[in-house]
Amino acid sequence: MVRHIQLRVSLKEESKKDILLKKVAKHLGEPENDLTIRVLRKSIDARKPSIYFNYKMEVYIREQPNNEPTYSFDYKDVSKAKEIHIIGFGPAGMWAALRCLELGYRPIVLERGKKVQERRRDLKAINQDHIVNEDSNYCFGEGGAGTYSDGKLYTRSLKRGDVRRIFESLVYHGATDQILVDAHPHIGTNKLPKIVENIRETILKHGGEIHFETRVTDFIIKNKKLQAVILQNGNEMHIHRVILATGHSARDIFYLLRNKNIALKAKSFAMGVRVEHPQKIIDNIQYHCHGERNELLPAASYSLVHQVKNRGVYSFCMCPGGFIVPAATAPGEVVVNGMSPSKRNNLFANSGIVVEINVEEDIPKYERFGVLKGLEYQKDLERLAFTSGGRSQVAPAQRLTDFVEGKLSQDLNPTSYQPGLESAPLHSLLPKLIGSRLRTGFTEFGKKMNGYYTAEANIVGVESRTSSPVTIPRKENLEHPEIEGLFPCGEGGGYAGGIVSAAMDGERCAEASIAGL
């Protein structure tokens, strides 16, 4: 017999051995020895001073559970199969390639960046020497921006596919099976590289190809049909179907498509800053505690949103126990992002706090750039951050209270951002469209979270790569409406917003691209 049960366990109870089994046995009136529990979902409810763990479980009475995964992954030998070309090896490109293996097609991946381990040298160069490699950085390289990220796995894109399938694929390639249970699962920047390596090995083992340091610079199109791609070394590669999964920061691809008069659309996006608090402050607010949090509790996170002058101001990519990193993809710009290790045990909590930008209404001065107006707006703010930080990867920063009150910070708080911070008047440097809304938003967030609005927090600029400011349109069959054989995919096409949604879109594009072959 199988029963489905939901239980609440107090923080004090959670520390006791076998507490779930004892509570379930009492609830069902069955002997403990007759029960086997499988946890389906675990979450924390800290809305009140008393903290509870919520469990959703399957309880097996006098029988054992079937521990087989929901999905099996039948990767075929595709060494002699028909080819599908994939440009980009981030989450969308990786899962497009994996799906091709399952469907019996040979993925040929073209990735502008380096293998995951080789990327580390370029990340060190940007952090310590302020040198930005345009093809190898926190955004470009094996695994894309997701490799060196928090590895957050929750998504709202449930209509696009089965999230469970992506989770089990991650577990298959080395992720902890805890991601199948946690309400807000993440993997951690220290664990993701190995998973990415394992995915690469799966593709190569089954006959796929992955070409690193291979940037696509042109498309050959005849009669509205994709014929070939030109690579950075001048070589021409003939193709039939291309999944374009280059990510939201591959600006050269947007310029290439525009220059070839291939249809694009401007898309609304968001920009702002990254705010960094001592993790203890966030823990104290969320867990109603003082001093060290209980060891059973993870580093506390938060999610905030407020409407200011008809635009949303909201937290984005909140990283508990994490650090801020330089995410620039070209010299002359400063971009910040956040990530966390698997244990989330760093001293700081950081989060993007961004403002919605309606590309049709909010930036009229950029209309001359047409469909790339949002992209050019992004670039200008990133250049502003570069110059105001001192023309290096040092980022402009301000104490949170000084930003809201409109005064230059005489000094700054300690930070996790390795290249360093420079005090700058972000309250006057940021466009009014963003700055004034942020100032109101931070004030309101302080009312929702007592202690959040504090001089102990820094804001760091700029957080500009929340999503693509461009959409590459596609038809219902996921093919570009003008170019036969071109399948825009993932974040770069405007169809995803994180690892899971990009992976699901990659699978869908793989299925679409092989239709009719």
Residues 239, 90 share a domain: yes
Cα–Cα distance measured from residue 376 to residue 354, given in angstroms and rounded to the nearest whole number:
18
Helices 499-514/163-172 angle, 10° precision:
100
Residues 443, 300 share a domain: yes
pLDDT single digits (tens) 417-451: 999 999 999 999 999 999 999 999 999 999 999 99
Cα–Cα distance measured from residue 230 to residue 219, given in angstroms and rounded to the nearest whole number:
6
Residues 248, 138 share a domain: yes
Spell out where 394-498 has E strands. Answer: 395-399, 421-423, 458-463, 470-471, 486-488
Mean pLDDT to the nearest integer, 162-173: 94
- On the question of pLDDT at 70 being above 60, the answer is yes
Residues 426, 282 share a domain: yes
Residues 478, 447 share a domain: no
Residues 276, 241 share a domain: no
Q: Where in the sequence is the domain holding 356, given as residue range(s)?
A: 268-463
Residues 371, 352 share a domain: yes
Residue 129, domain member (yes or no): yes
Total of domains in the chain: 3
Q: Which helix (H) or strand (E) segment is 428 a member of? A: helix 426-429
- On the question of pLDDT at 361 being above 60, the answer is yes
Residues 424, 310 share a domain: yes
Q: Of 110, 137, 51, whose CA–CA distance to 245 is shortest?
A: 110
Q: Are 107 and 507 in contact (CB under 8 A)?
A: no
Residue 76, domain member (yes or no): no
Residues 208, 89 share a domain: yes
Q: Which helix (H) or strand (E) segment is 278 a member of? A: strand 269-278
CATH number of 38's domain: 3.30.70.2700
| DSSP track, 176-226 | -GGGGTBSS-B--TTTHHHHHHHHHHHHHHTT-EEESS--EEEEEEETTEE
Mean pLDDT to the nearest integer, 289-303: 93
The 3-state DSSP composition of the chain as helix, strand, coil percent (nearest 5) reads 30, 25, 40
Residues 144, 42 share a domain: no
**Amino acid 155: pLDDT:** 67
Alpha helices in 218-269 (DSSP H): 251-259
Exposure of 201 by Cβ count < 10 A (0-12 exposed, 13-18 middle, 19+ buried)?
Answer: exposed
Residue 371, domain member (yes or no): yes
Domain's final residue, options 447, 463, 479: 463
- On the question of pLDDT at 157 being above 80, the answer is no
Amino acid identity for residue 283 in this structure: D
Residue 408, domain member (yes or no): yes
Side-chain-side CA neighbours of 394 within 13 Å: the count stands at: 12
Mean pLDDT to the nearest integer, 499-516: 95
Question: Is this prediction's pTM over 0.75?
Answer: yes
Q: Are 269 and 110 in contact (CB under 8 A)?
A: no
**Amino acid 152: pLDDT:** 83
pLDDT single digits (tens) 378-390: 999 999 999 999 9
Residue 251, domain member (yes or no): yes
Residues 248, 126 share a domain: yes
Residue 146, domain member (yes or no): yes
- On the question of pLDDT at 258 being above 60, the answer is yes
Going by pLDDT thresholds of 50, 70 and 90, the confidence category of residue 156 is low
Residues 439, 323 share a domain: yes
**Amino acid 137: pLDDT:** 96
Residue 353, domain member (yes or no): yes
Which residue, chain included where needed, has tokens 């200011």?
Answer: 308
222 has which bridge partners? 225
Going by pLDDT thresholds of 50, 70 and 90, the confidence category of residue 68 is confident
What percent of the chain stands above pLDDT 90? 92
Residue 70, domain member (yes or no): no
Which residue, chain included where needed, has tokens 């919605």?
Answer: 356
